[in-house]
Amino acid sequence: MDAIKETDFKNLGEKKKGKVRDIYVQSERLILISTDRHSSFDRIIAHIPYKGAVLNLSSAFWFEKTADIIPNHVIEVPDPNVTVAKRVKPLAVEAVMRGYLTGTTSTSIWTRYQNGERVFGGVTLGENLKKNTKLPEPIFDPTTKEDTHDRALSLEDLVNEGFITGELLDKVKAAALALFKRGQEVAALHGLILVDTKYEFGVDENGRLILIDEIHTPDSSRYWKLGSYDERLANGEEPEYFDKEFLRIWFKDHSDPYKDEVLPDAPPEMIAELSRRYIEIYETLTGEKFSIDESLPPEERMKKNLAKFAI
């Protein structure tokens, strides 16, 4: 299958282009189309066949699995790459959940722990903890959602700086903890560890908290393989995970991805391998075979499946 690089549906409303999704805005709903764009280094570095369908179908699976915890924005999933969603007002806070002391970015819990920070989301960690160990309890460690750079703030600072009210933050925390618990339970049943993730929320016209965006996808979450975790941790090895890092490393070795105006094309075998990994994690998590109708080109298939949502 050819990768879905972008879409151009004139009859679905105003188009807004995100890193991965094309979003068509209607008065009361959003048409969210997950493309196969692969973002890294603050730019698109490749197009991975089936990635968009994996992300969209993974979210659909998890939205259904968690609907008893909190209502979500899904109206319909008319196509493997498409979710039709209710328009709500998004919150300016991203609900990050952490189950393990890991990560490499500046906002990761392991980096901040190494730099001397000990209190995360109201939980105080002890001294001399090792990387990749399980936290004493899941930690709600929210960040801001800002145009420049997201910041990890204390719960008090989020309220004091006006990002969210205290009452609504309490609801977000309760929902995030329950969602993460469900996610870890389901992942463990399928031989995986849900290490960390992030959730986005909005409020509807009645002020009701709604889960939006995506949930527990390979892009929004970190997964490790459960069966080998204890042995690898005891041996001082990194856990087995569904790693996308090999593609980032290739670009860093063959270009300056932050500065070069044009990047080289990734090797076809790497594109194929990353596509395979996305499909593997979908099948492992859901217990379902990944299968989509390829009798039509993707754009024609989506056009047909979206006909009733034209405006």
Predicted local confidence at residue 98, as pLDDT: 97
Contact 27, 59 (CB under 8 A): no
Angstrom distance (rounded) from CA 9 to CA 12 = 6
The domain 89-203: what is its CATH number? 3.30.470.20
Predicted local confidence at residue 249, as pLDDT: 87
Q: What angle do CA 269, 251, 100 make, to 5 degrees?
A: 90
Predicted local confidence at residue 152, as pLDDT: 83
pLDDT digits (tens, 9 = 90+) for 150-190: 888 889 999 999 999 999 999 999 999 999 999 999 999 99
CA of 150: how far to CAs of 93, 183, 212, 262, in Å?
9, 24, 18, 27
Contacts of 190 (CB under 8 A, 6+ apart): 284, 285, 287
Residue spans of the domains in the chain: they are: 14-88+241-309, 89-203
Contact 129, 113 (CB under 8 A): yes
Predicted local confidence at residue 105, as pLDDT: 80
Angstrom distance (rounded) from CA 244 to CA 218 = 9
| DSSP codes of every residue in 174-222 | HHHHHHHHHHHHHHHHTTEEEEEEEEEEEE-TT--EEEES--S-TTTEE
pLDDT digits (tens, 9 = 90+) for 38-54: 998 889 999 999 999 99
Contact 84, 187 (CB under 8 A): no
Predicted local confidence at residue 212, as pLDDT: 98
Contact 101, 131 (CB under 8 A): yes
CA of 235: how far to CAs of 191, 229, 231, 239, 240, in Å?
20, 10, 6, 10, 13
Predicted local confidence at residue 245, as pLDDT: 79
Q: What's the gap between Cα 226 and its chain centre?
A: 20
Task: Kindly give the confidence (pLDDT) of every residue in the chain, 311 residues in length, as a single tens digit, with 9 standing for 90 and above.
Answer: 789 999 999 999 999 999 999 999 999 999 999 999 999 888 999 999 999 999 999 999 999 999 999 999 999 999 999 999 999 999 999 999 999 999 888 889 999 999 999 999 889 999 999 999 999 999 999 999 887 778 888 899 999 999 999 999 999 999 999 999 999 999 999 999 999 999 999 999 999 999 999 999 999 999 999 999 999 999 999 999 877 878 988 999 999 999 999 999 999 999 999 999 999 999 999 999 999 999 999 999 999 999 999 99
Fold topology of 14-88+241-309: Phosphorylase Kinase; domain 1 (3.30.200)
Predicted local confidence at residue 242, as pLDDT: 78
